[in-house]
Chain A
């Protein structure tokens, strides 16, 4: 069985280890990862900026690139949610609409793919660690894949999940929001990092690369030794 890797630009250029871990996890469960050439960005940034007109060409590109895939797997809730919005970018009678629908229906966030499509909750991962889960807004509320993340983590041997105060609360990133309103973004982030530190955990896990990067960059600034880990890295069980 094959799955096409949909690698967010943030993962491609800033968090390549998350892409690697995703490939490792898929291989572990018997799925061969395929990386189609020529991926760039799903267009989420332009969409959130209120420019669906700029997203449309990127969506067509994505659709053409991934159309042949039986499954498209992405280590990001927000990018998956963006692709699932693609059909709405095209008019009812536009032939691209049906193509967008077909691609959107086969695009899954990693946790969704494992739990919903492969009916797996135990991928045989082992990672002895005390960690908290940051339930990313985009993965949980927007995409509705929070439960899948939790079920997968519950089966990781050695992993102890400790409670995080307000786990569902935003980390303050919000894409361009973090640059347009840096003070607000950092005030929200500061509270998230306070909660993470207070939990006493050794690591903070999330299924969303942008949250991971945001929280990780603040932990580094405060020189705290809490490891930011993506769901894929945890499921790879330290294999990379």
Chain B
């Protein structure tokens, strides 16, 4: 956790100035939250599902290295190939080399946050390979030349009107009707699926015992990306592994309800290895790239490892007041919101603001919503401790020193009380000072005659009137 140049506060302040985007974001998140609540509330056994899934995730982390070895053996036995990548650049290099070695020119991609994490699209572009995002949201983002703003719904921040304008500009097709716009995207994408030399997808769950890659989606584009082209490359971060298909089922019990409010997604695909002899379809080659990028270090850190239980449902983002206000882009990293505030600074060559753990009100809505049993505020608190241990925080130390002595504490309050009316004036003169910025939407509350000095008279009154003052 070294000092970073990225300033979340500044980026957030800028994002907050964009009223239109804030309205789009608020509407979209409100919609997802209603869907999730309806679904979770309609499941009388959600608490039990959660308990089971948490147990599976914890047991998985406890024997992660073994499971990864088993996964490698199973994938290999099923005719696939496993590649371990220590960091983002080596993962991007590994995939780029696999593709250039096979003379691939066009790649279709299913939505994958790990692909964003390793900067795959940029690497492929540099290698002269055309990579087309086929998830509708990702497709929109790619056309617009932007980055996803939500781990689940990458184009959450884009309005219907903006998509319409984008399609008109980039594809030369005009429409404001959602089914028609979907058709426009589909027309353009179908041709890519059929022409692609390779497909790159993410992986929601990898099953060690069988070597199966499980992906969840609602559009069918991942299934096409994995099965149409002759080569399928699946990309996962190492914590996505579970032991058995039964373990995977336990995770599936909580993932779609928490993510999109569905019992199951429209498409649930289980890919095991490459096309076998006698089979008529499926990719001829299957590769599984497993990314570490700092996760082994997190795993070895008992106070922070529980962030690896995350199943990327996005529930914590959708309830976080900070995320809801500023949106995903302000974080300057692939993973925003509560899970991202923990994970992003811990990854190798971390993007974003190293002080991200401080940008939290400690409201604990994330921990309450997390189906994987992650206590984000506790993890952020531990990260704050580590960040603070390195630096000096004069104001906190001064306040703590005062609080050690009752008379100094009272004296300081008395000084503040006498200076009190001046503070608002100072803020008025220096609107960009911390006090000025704090008071933009607030009236300074003012200090009063302390309670302890009022108590004696009150206590006398109370004892005289038997509880009635």
Residues in chain A within 8 A of chain B (CB atoms): 5, 7, 9, 11-16, 19-20, 23-24, 27-30, 32-33, 35, 37-41, 43, 45-52, 54-55, 57-58, 61, 137-138, 141-142, 168-170, 172-191, 213-214, 216-218, 220-221, 239-240
Contact = CB atoms under 8 A, between A and B. Distances in A.
A188 B443 contact: no
Contacts of B452: 7, 12, 35, 37, 39
B449 A16 contact: yes
B363 A24 contact: no
Contacts of B438: 178-179, 182, 185
B396 A51 contact: yes
A37 B381 CA distance: 31
Interface of B: 8-9, 12-13, 16, 321-322, 325-326, 358-365, 367-368, 377, 381, 383-389, 393, 396-397, 399-400, 402-406, 409, 413, 416-417, 434, 437-438, 440-452, 454-455, 458-459, 462-463, 466-469
A132 B24 CA distance: 27
A50 B389 contact: yes
B449 A45 contact: no
A15 B403 CA distance: 18
A209 to B, nearest CB: 11
A56 B440 CA distance: 35
B451 A12 contact: yes
Contact of A184 (B326, B383, B409, B450): B326
A177 B444 contact: no
A49 B388 CA distance: 7
Given A182-B438, A188-B321, 18 more contacts: A7-B451, A13-B448, A14-B446, A20-B451, A24-B467, A27-B468, A37-B406, A39-B452, A46-B396, A46-B400, A142-B362, A179-B438, A182-B434, A186-B442, A187-B325, A221-B441, A221-B443, A239-B469
Nearest to A18: B451
Contacts of B383: 50
18 contacts: A11-B451, A12-B413, A14-B445, A16-B449, A23-B458, A23-B459, A40-B402, A45-B396, A49-B388, A54-B400, A142-B362, A169-B365, A186-B441, A188-B321, A189-B442, A216-B445, A217-B445, A220-B443
A54 B383 CA distance: 16
Nearest to B444: A217
B365 A183 contact: no
Contacts of A180: 9, 358-359
A35 B405 CA distance: 17
A239 B463 CA distance: 15
Contacts of A55: 400
A185 B358 CA distance: 12
A32 B463 contact: yes
Given A32-B463, A218-B442, A220-B443, A137 B406 contact: no
A160 to B, nearest CB: 25
A181 B442 CA distance: 14
A183 B448 contact: no
Nearest to B390: A50
Given A179-B438, A217-B445, A13 B417 contact: yes
Contacts of A176: 358, 396
A170 B325 CA distance: 12
B251 to A, nearest CB: 25
B396 A54 contact: yes
A28 B442 contact: no
Contacts of B367: 141
B441 A190 contact: yes
B450 A12 contact: yes
B449 to A, nearest CB: 7
B325 to A, nearest CB: 4
Contacts of A168: 365
A38 B406 contact: yes
The 9 closest A-B pairs by CB, nearest first: A174-B361, A50-B384, A50-B388, A170-B363, A19-B451, A137-B363, A16-B451, A217-B442, A182-B437
Contacts of B358: 50, 176-177, 180
A51 B400 contact: yes
Contacts of B440: 182, 186
A28 B465 CA distance: 10
A23 B364 contact: no
B4 to A, nearest CB: 15
B361 A137 contact: yes
Contacts of B387: 50
A172 to B, nearest CB: 6
A141 B364 contact: yes
Nearest to A170: B363
Contact of B406 (A40, A50, A138, A174): A40
Contacts of A46: 396, 399-400
B330 to A, nearest CB: 9
A177 B462 contact: no
Nearest to B399: A45
A14 B448 contact: yes
A54 B397 contact: yes
Q: Which of B358, B434, B447 has the most CB of A within 10 A?
A: B358
A16 B448 CA distance: 7
B397 A15 contact: no
A182 B322 CA distance: 12
Nearest to A223: B443
Contacts of B386: 50
Contact of B365 (A13, A38, A170): A170
A218 B443 CA distance: 6
